[in-house]
Each structure stands twice: as C-alpha cells, then as structure tokens.
Structure 1
Amino acid sequence: MGIVSNCGGGRSGASATCPALTRTDRRLSTMSHLGMDFADAARLVESEIFGDWYRDPWGWPELRVSEMEDLDPADVGLIVGKGARWEFEPSFHSFEIPKSFFGQRPAVLLDPVSRLLFAAAVQRFAVQLEAELSDWSYGWRYRDGARANNSEERDLYRQSQQQLPEAAFSGETDITSFFASVNVPKLLETMRALGCSSVPADIIERVLTRHDGLSFRSGLPQRSTASSILAQVALSPVDDVIGRALEQGRISAARRWMDDISFEGSYADVYRLLLEVQAAARNAGLEINASKTHITSAQQKSIEFERENQRIIRTEVDVVDDDYPDLTMTLISDAELLAAEDAVLTKPKSQSRSELGLVLRSLWRSRRFGRVAEWIDASRWIPHGADHLSRYLREAGNAGAVTVDALNTWFVDEHTSNWPHTDWVAAQHATAIAADAMSENSVALLRSWLSDSQNAQKLAVAVQRLASIEPQATRRALRSRIDGVYDPIQVRLLTLGLLASGAPISAVTEHLNRTPSLKLLTRYLVNHKWKLPSVPDDFAGTEGAQPGTVTVD
C-alpha cells in the first residue's frame, strides 16, 4: 500500500487531513524565537506520533501545540539577544525495530526538547531548501512554500510511473542504507552554501553531528520528517545529473521518491545515466544498491505496473476511534478480506509490514476473529507486525474470540522462551493484555522489565501497567532504580511512573530538575496541576469490544 501522511509525516496505511488553522492556531503560530515557529514545529511532531516506532503511554503531552503558547526560550535551552545560542546537548535513546522477518532498522528517540528544536530549525529553512528540489522529486518536501501532503505526493508519483513513453527503456535504482549513509559534514556544507546560518543552523548541526558520532548509529536519524526534508538535500548531486540529462534530452522522464529513482530513455542513455548517478552518489558518500539497479523496456515496466495494480487489495477508508480524531485508516474491502488473510497466514514470514498492518487492522475493524489461533501461532514469524498483531489479539479477547488466560499464557511462554524476540516486539506483545487482565506470571515479567530493561518501549509498558496494577510496589521499584538512571528518555518514563503510582510531587520534581531536557515536561505538569493526561485506550488496552456480532467464518 502507498505511504501517506499525517499533515506531512509519512505513515503506512494511514492518513490524516491537515485541519484549517483556528484562531488559537494563528495566535500560536506567532510564538517564535530566532525565526523558529514552535507551534508549527509541535504540529509537525504531533503528526509523527501516530504510527511512530515508539508509543508513549501519555502521548508526549509536553510537545502538544497547545503547550507552545508563551513558551519561555530558556525552557528549551535558547539564549536570545546578544550571544544567541542553544545550550542543550541533544541525547538519543537507541533501539532496534524489525522491518521484516530478517531486517532490523536502527531507531533512535530524541529527547523532547531536541526533537522540538530540530523540527523547528529544519522548518526555518524549509522554503530555502525547497528551491533546490525538482518537481519530479516526491515525498517529504515543501511545495509552493507549504509542507506537502504525502498522500498527494504518492498519487503524483504513481501517476508519473504510469506515464511511460513508448519505445523507451526504464532504469531504476536506489541508495543502500540511505539515511544511515548520508555524509553529515557534506550535508552541512551544502546547507551553509544555501545560506542556512545562525542559531537554527547550529541546532541542526549539533543534532546531526551528535547522532552521526554515536558508535551505534550514523547519518540521519530515521523516522523523522525533519530528517527526511534534509535527506532531500543530501541527494542534490544525484538530482543535478538527472536534471542535466533531462535538459539535454538524453532521457524523456524521471522521478524520485526519496531514494527510489527511475527514468526513461534509450538503452544507451539510461545506462549512461545510471553510471553517472552512481558516480554522483559515490562523490556524496553514498552507494547505489546494485541488486536493485535494473534496465527494462518501458513496455515491460508498464506490464509490471499493471500486475502490481492487480495485486493491490481493494480498499476503503474508515474512521478510527476518538484517540486520533484527525486520522483515517485504510481498510480492505470486506469482499477481499478473507482471501487476504489466507494469503498472509499461508506465508507470514514473507509479508511486508504494511501488508500485515492492512490485513490485521481490517480484521479487527470488521470483527473477524475466526483464525485467531493461527495468528497466535504465526506471532514468531511476523515480528515486524507485532504492534498490529497485538491490537488484533486484544480486540479478539474483548470480543470473546480468545480467552484472557490464553493470551497471558502465550505472552509469558513466548517471552520466557529462548526465541530471540527483540525488546520492541516483546513490548508490543504486552499491549495485547490490559492491566486488569494480566496474570501473575505476566505481571512478574513486567516487574523484571521495570527493574532491568534499558529499552524505552519495554519501560513504557511496564511503568504504565504496573502503576495501575500495584502502585505501592511500583513506587518502591521506581525509587530504587531512578537515582542510577541518566538517559533523559528513561528518566522521563520513571518520573512519570512515580507520578502515576501516587508519589509526592517533591519526589517527582527532584528528578525532573536534574534533567534539563525535561523542562518542557515540568512546564506541562505545573500548568496542569501535576495531573497526567489519560492513557489512550489503544495503549492501555481498556477499550471494550466494538458493537456487533463476532464473525467467525
């Protein structure tokens, strides 16, 4: 399925409309410092939250657009006026996300202040950077001075693919490990040449240099719209050689979706340009993926497009629950759903994440749980769909299609076995069971995560569930651990856990005050009288079964 957007942030299988600015939005949009619009940056960050690799139990309340009004620059480490600068050091929490059965993505979480400032700084220069992009570059970009909607970008990209000239050859390639391979010094040099300077440019440089210098990461942070906008700039040398070939008439058409590149012309001209693209990419510190570099006839490419369209599962759009009021979800049409489910369960390991999400989401929305036991058996083979599977299993439990005892037994058996589940997968599986439905063995497993895990998603689930199940014991466990924790993301979770489990405000402020990048959270809690926002039902697992009858065929 196509990647679409939440007001510009790419999401697979989900889209959101960008609502018209309200009077409050217009007032907030004037709240800026050093040319950076924090309300707009918060709007961008909010657009990334649904479908993000990390799910926060409380939805990052300190980064909401409504919290940007009257923001003190000091709360985000900005010194304004003479000697203007950014005083915070960005920090990253690293973890791995399965992108397929075999593949893992190198993920990071930026601390809240750095995430907001990075988005604001990139947006400060977005219009300047847009001027360097060709019309045939699609996705994660600005057009006509505004952030483009990725669903519309995907439609334009597909249209360009289907308008292949006759009697031509089509060349295609992409970049190996693109984001991780971006040469940060070269990118920063290019941005300076484009006139990007002052404090916002310093913020971008500090975030990227810090990330690139990590022993376990390189290039650009992934799953970030701000990074994606910068990634377009990193490909400007490649765009230049393609643009020249278009101007000279050596090729008849070209298109690029981030690092997926294709163009048409005679065989000799297409081959020549592929060599030029390879040289330009290498000069920029990038390498094309030889295994994905091909030349085919335009006629053959048209046949491939037609076959792909025949394989596309017919879809319809439905509205999800109140947790995400601006979001719509793509679902499989009812007539094709059971065949799609059968195809996935026949070869679960070979399915893409987007396909798994589409099928599982459609099944629970249409309340078809007749093969829930087979989905449980397939759980080891679809680590990249663990979040979608867990939501499906939770809904199946709510509907009575599987017992709570069976879900608890599955969860404990899987995550006390020797099977190499990643931390992210384990955390997602835990969300299949609401706090009040967890067995003693499941609770014991979460206690071990709270005590020992370094993974933010495991901590998030453990903190939220245990604070609800056994608040007094959880407060003791949190107090015994938090003094030795310095990762801002972990400190944030443990501190919120203290508050959720009933610790006094003084115990919470002690740890917030020692972590500068949590000043936005302190500000939020003070403004809201130290009351935490509600945990979304789809994280807590507390939503009831949807009305209607369970379909078991």
Structure 2
Amino acid sequence: MARHAGLLPRPAVPGQRPTLVAELRPGMTPAKPTNGLGTGSSNLLSCPRPGRCIQQDRVTSSKDPVSVRPLVRFSIRDRILYESLVFGLAHSVDKEIFPSVYSYRWNRLSFSFRDPIKMWLRMQKAASRHLVKNPTHYAAKTDVTSFYESIHLETLTEDLEAATGQVEWVNKLRIYLDSFQSFHSAWGIPQGSDASGILANLYLLPVDELLRRRGVRSLRARNTILLRCPGRA
C-alpha cells in the first residue's frame, strides 16, 4: 500500500506515452562513460547494446561555502529516455499535488512545465499578500537537507503506482533508477534534471498533507518550504 491517504489509481492519459521507453528492458548493463566534446556527454559507441546502457557523468556543484550538491549530466539519449519515462506519468502525478506547491507544475495541454519564473513570482506574491493581511504572523523558511539523494526508491515506486495506476510504466522507470544507483554507487534519484522535480513533488506530498492537517499554512518550491504562522501577542 502507498503511504498517501486518499490516493486512488488513475487511468493513463490517452496519447501521452512516448515510445522511446520501449528500448528499456530488465537486466540493463551500464556502460562506462567517456568524455564527449567537453560537455559531459558520453560516447554512444561505448555501449554494445544501444538502449540497454545508462550513460551519465556525475559532477558536483557548490551548494554553500562548505558543501556541494551532486549532479548528473546525461548523454542526450539517456536524458530523452529518463524524461520520457517521467513525463509519461507527469499529468497523473500533478493532479495529486496541492496548489500550495509552485515548482515543477505540469501543464497537460502543452505537455510541458508551467513557466518556472512565473510560478516563483506567484509564490512570492502569495506569501506577501498573506503577511500584509496578517501583520502579526511570522514566516519561517526551511528545507530538506540532501533531499534528492535521500529518496527511497521502494517508497517512490509505491507512491507512483498509487497516484497513476500505471504499474508497468512505473516499473520501467524503476529499472532505470535502479541502474542509475548501481552505476554510480549512488542513492536517490538524479539531481539536475527537471524530470526529477516531478518525482520529488510526489515524494513530499505526505509533508504537505501533514502540514495541512495540522492547520499550518505553507508554500513550497522544490524542497524549500515557507511556513506561515501566528506570532506571539
């Protein structure tokens, strides 16, 4: 059973399944990445069985003065494959996400993300309006440390199956993510891809639900949460 209360399987959205995932099969054997034109892409010729290899470079970027954030640079083919797997589930996932979440929101009509800048500005305006109307309230910001690399695939798989009802499709994505972890000796899901943001939204849904049940008004962008609460008199 999934850990989300009230989540029901939903039918697949007709016409929204890309065909590229037909290349993905159980027993994928990751290929060792090679440098490609200085862009971090991998040499597709290094994979003896096209469509069955994960080709990515793992890099780090500065998060703050003392820590770094692990990122993944996909080859073009593997980026298309990963995004096809996730985007095929995006519409069903997004219907479960609360309006208080402003990052990685899916537009089913254009089959793409809503404008991230506009969504960020909407979040800022919503926070400002609340504080103007409630001058005695405080706003506190928090986030989840090492969030993407802490995502548990078994739990994520259960959540996706409950939210979408597309068990076979979710299993294809699970095969890909298992290979990603095995190849990089990593945990969680790839960081640096917008497709991962869709999965992250669903994974944090229990947090959004808990805050709502406790009567805490909140706004969220990625793994950063803005809490709004009354101050002391």
Same fold (TM over 0.5): yes
Partner residue of 2:166 out of 184, 190, 197: 197
Q: Find out whether 1:226 has 2:190 as its counterpart.
A: no
- Alpha-carbon separation, structure 1, partners of 2:50 and 2:211: 41
Once the two structures are TM-superposed, the CA of residue 120 in structure 1 deviates from its matched residue by 0.9
* 1:35 aligned partner: 17
- Aligned letter for 1:150? P
Q: Find out whether 1:162 has 2:128 as its counterpart.
A: yes
- Alpha-carbon separation, structure 2, partners of 1:90 and 1:59: 14
Deviations 1:458-494 (A, max 9, x none): xxxxxxxxxxxxxxxxxxxxxxxxxxxxxxxxxxxxx
* 2:219 aligned partner: 255
Once the two structures are TM-superposed, the CA of residue 198 in structure 1 deviates from its matched residue by 5.3
Please say which structure displays the higher CA radius of gyration: 1
Partner residue of 2:57 out of 81, 84, 93: 93
Contact 1:122/1:200 (8 A) holds in 2? no
Once the two structures are TM-superposed, the CA of residue 91 in structure 1 deviates from its matched residue by 3.7
Contact 2:40/2:73 (8 A) holds in 1? no
Once the two structures are TM-superposed, the CA of residue 218 in structure 1 deviates from its matched residue by 1.3
Deviations 1:46-102 (A, max 9, x none): xxxxxxxx9955897xxxxxxxxxxxxxx974xxxxxxxxxx142432233334443
Contact 1:118/1:203 (8 A) holds in 2? no
Q: Find out whether 1:153 has 2:119 as its counterpart.
A: yes
- Aligned letter for 2:150? S
- Aligned letter for 1:201? V
Q: Which has the higher helix share?
A: 1
- Alpha-carbon separation, structure 1, partners of 2:199 and 2:37: 26
Cα distance, 1:255–1:56 mapped onto 2, change above 3 Å: farther
- Alpha-carbon separation, structure 2, partners of 1:143 and 1:134: 14
- Aligned letter for 1:183? H
The root-mean-square deviation of aligned C-alpha atoms, in Å, is 3.1
- Alpha-carbon separation, structure 1, partners of 2:39 and 2:182: 31
> Identity percentage over the alignment?
21
- Aligned letter for 1:152? K
Equivalenced residue count is 193
> Which aligned pairs between 1:192-341 and structure 2 lie closer than 5 A?
192-197=161-166, 200-214=169-183, 216-245=185-214, 250-251=215-216, 253-266=217-230
- Alpha-carbon separation, structure 2, partners of 1:173 and 1:104: 18
In the TM superposition, structure 1's runs of 4+ consecutive aligned residues that sit over 6 Å from their partners are none
Once the two structures are TM-superposed, the CA of residue 233 in structure 1 deviates from its matched residue by 0.7
- Aligned letter for 2:127? Q
Once the two structures are TM-superposed, the CA of residue 259 in structure 1 deviates from its matched residue by 1.0
Q: Which has the higher strand share?
A: 2
Q: Find out whether 1:104 has 2:73 as its counterpart.
A: no
Once the two structures are TM-superposed, the CA of residue 143 in structure 1 deviates from its matched residue by 4.3
Contact 2:40/2:57 (8 A) holds in 1? no
Contact 1:139/1:153 (8 A) holds in 2? yes
Deviations 1:306-353 (A, max 9, x none): xxxxxxxxxxxxxxxxxxxxxxxxxxxxxxxxxxxxxxxxxxxxxxxx
Q: Find out whether 1:184 has 2:153 as its counterpart.
A: yes
Cα distance, 1:144–1:91 mapped onto 2, change above 3 Å: closer
Contact 2:93/2:164 (8 A) holds in 1? no
Q: Give the TM-score taking structure 1 as reference length.
A: 0.32
Partner residue of 1:140 out of 104, 108, 124: 104
Cα distance, 1:55–1:259 mapped onto 2, change above 3 Å: farther
- Aligned letter for 1:206? I
Cα distance, 1:144–1:166 mapped onto 2, change above 3 Å: farther
Task: List alignment gaps of at least 5 residues for structure 2.
Answer: 1-14, 21-34, 42-48
Contact 1:174/1:259 (8 A) holds in 2? yes
* 1:312 aligned partner: none
- Alpha-carbon separation, structure 1, partners of 2:16 and 2:230: 50
Once the two structures are TM-superposed, the CA of residue 202 in structure 1 deviates from its matched residue by 2.9
Deviations 1:276-309 (A, max 9, x none): xxxxxxxxxxxxxxxxxxxxx7xxxxxxxxxxxx
Q: Give the TM-score taking structure 2 as reference length.
A: 0.70
Cα distance, 1:189–1:126 mapped onto 2, change above 3 Å: same
* 2:26 aligned partner: none
- Aligned letter for 2:80? L
